[in-house]
Amino acid sequence: MIQERLNQACEILGLIHMNAVYDHHAEEASKGSISYLEFLDKLLWAEIEAKRDRAAKANMKLAKLPYVKTLEQFDFDFQPSANARKINELKTLGFVARAENVVFLGPPGVGKTHLAVGLAVEAIKNGYTAYFLSAHELIAMIKENIISGRIHRKIKTLCKPGILIIDEVGYAGMDDETAHYFFQIISSRYEKGSIILTSNKSYGEWGDVFGDNIVATAILDRLLHHSTTINIKGDSYRVKEKKKAGFYDPSKLEFTPTD
């Protein structure tokens, strides 16, 4: 029977979506005045879209984002120095195609991670891959892999995603060996894959972060050669939200932690 043959053909070719929808499309086609070619075109593109959707969903999981937020959810009126114009340019994803980097600098709560995540979400939706980790996790990963003798293989793995996001550089210091491998990671992605990095420390303070001015300079040299820096200077959005909710008491100079 034709249905059975079609189901089998779809299975052999891995056309999961087409298998589910060809019936419906065939019925629609027979009602309308749609040509054979248009019918085929519809079916094929429905399959392609479904495949892309599945891949994006899988890539979202693999990216290990700490939360999912989009660029549309970012309030640029509250944080004008986050530079809506530059973010809109980055949103076109030319930087990923050209393997350029993006650095978000600024104090806690101003939206650095949100914007990094938002760019990653946009890239994944458009077929790219991403991998998110905090500098803290990266340092631990480097140390473990030095001990287990797999550090070179690990560096290769970290080269694979279209975007590598390194969040919160600057909170944890680094010993010489870790800083050296951190440099290796930046350097092996240089002109091959994008890095989005966030930091609470200005570039001038990176010598302290990496425990060595020479390593810091080498890292900055690779990182910034093809890059966009967005320096966010403003109030913490977390504090704003807490003020609004009434948890914020400036006389105590602290606010109730809820996250």
Q: Is 113 in the site for ligand ADP (CB under 6 A)?
A: yes
Figure out which of the listed residues 74, 182, 206, 210 binds ligand ADP, where binding follows CB under 6 A: 74
C-alpha to C-alpha distance for 65 and 116, rounded to whole angstroms: 10
| Helical ranges in the chain per DSSP H | 2-13, 16-31, 36-63, 84-91, 94-97, 112-125, 135-147, 151-158, 176-189, 206-209, 213-225, 237-245
For Mg ion (CB under 5 A), the number of binding residues is 1
The span from the first CA to the last CA of the chain, in angstroms, equals 60
Instruction: Tell me which of ligand ADP, Mg ion, none is bound by residue 217, counting a contact when its beta carbon lies within the kind-specific cut-off of 5 to 8 angstroms.
Output: none
Figure out which of the listed residues 114, 154, 222, 242 binds ligand ADP, where binding follows CB under 6 A: 114
Choices 56-64, 75-83, 89-97, 123-131 (CB under 6 A): range interacting with ligand ADP = 75-83
For ligand ADP (CB under 6 A), the number of binding residues is 17
DSSP label at residue 35: -
Contact 238, 205 (CB under 8 A): no
Closest CB 191 distance from ligand ADP, rounded Å: 27
Quick one: 83 or 113, whose CB is closer to Mg ion?
A: 113
C-alpha to C-alpha distance for 229 and 92, rounded to whole angstroms: 16
Q: Is 79 in the site for ligand ADP (CB under 6 A)?
A: yes
Look at the block and give the residue holding tokens 């053909």. 9
Instruction: Tell me which of Mg ion, ligand ADP, none is bound by residue 162, counting a contact when its beta carbon lies within the kind-specific cut-off of 5 to 8 angstroms.
Output: none
Q: Is 242 in the site for ligand ADP (CB under 6 A)?
A: no
| 254 contacts: CB under 8 Å, gap ≥ 6 | none
Choices 25-33, 70-78, 123-131, 204-212 (CB under 6 A): range interacting with ligand ADP = 70-78
Q: Is 194 in the site for Mg ion (CB under 5 A)?
A: no
Closest CB 247 distance from ligand ADP, rounded Å: 14
The CA R_g of the chain, rounded to the nearest whole Å, is 23
Contact 103, 194 (CB under 8 A): no
Figure out which of the listed residues 59, 79, 101, 113 binds Mg ion, where binding follows CB under 5 A: 113
C-alpha to C-alpha distance for 182 and 143, rounded to whole angstroms: 11
Q: Is 110 in the site for ligand ADP (CB under 6 A)?
A: yes
- Interface ranges with ligand ADP (CB under 6 A): 69, 73-75, 78-79, 106, 108-114, 198, 237-238
